[in-house]
């Protein structure tokens, strides 16, 4: 059984657009300083991931890592903990992470079905 690739791409595009929209909405509503520590961690993860064969992520990982290290003095002052978030922010993050997880599981399931 094979699922048409256009359906998969359309679903991923819709979820991506929704995620970007929520991110823009949250960024405009809650003005937070940039969390350079998280940017550093993302850069390190991208560099490690690129070692597994996806060399296109090396440059992005290096840029994120350098950006994070350059602003290391701002790591603690710009760090927001879960306890510092408002109830609405917590709910939005839970919804966003749930949608991301379901999309990830769905995409993995579709890939397994198509390979079978």
What pLDDT digit, counting tens, does each position of 41-90 carry?
988 988 888 887 767 778 888 999 999 999 888 887 767 777 877 888 78
Pair of tokens at residue 35: 């969390």
pTM exceeding the 0.95 threshold for the entire prediction: no
In terms of residue numbers, what domain contains 102?
5-115
User: Considering its fold, how many domains does the chain have in total?
Assistant: 1
Instruction: Write down the pLDDT at residue 111.
Output: 72
Long-range CB contacts (< 8 A, 24+ apart) of 73-78? 74/33, 74/34, 74/36, 75/36, 75/37, 75/40, 77/33, 78/32, 78/33, 78/34, 78/35, 78/36, 78/37
């Amino acid at each position: 059984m094979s699922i048409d690739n256009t359906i998969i791409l359309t679903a991923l595009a819709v979820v991506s657009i929704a995620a970007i929209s929520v991110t823009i909405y949250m960024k405009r509503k809650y003005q937070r300083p940039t969390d350079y520590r998280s940017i550093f961690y993302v850069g390190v993860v991208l560099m490690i991931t690129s070692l597994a064969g996806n060399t296109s992520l090396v440059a992005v990982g290096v840029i994120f890592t350098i950006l994070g290290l350059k602003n290391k003095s701002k790591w603690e002052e710009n760090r927001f903990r879960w306890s510092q978030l408002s109830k609405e922010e917590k709910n939005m993050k839970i919804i966003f992470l749930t949608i991301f997880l379901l999309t990830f599981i769905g995409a993995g399931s579709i890939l397994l079905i198509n390979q079978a």
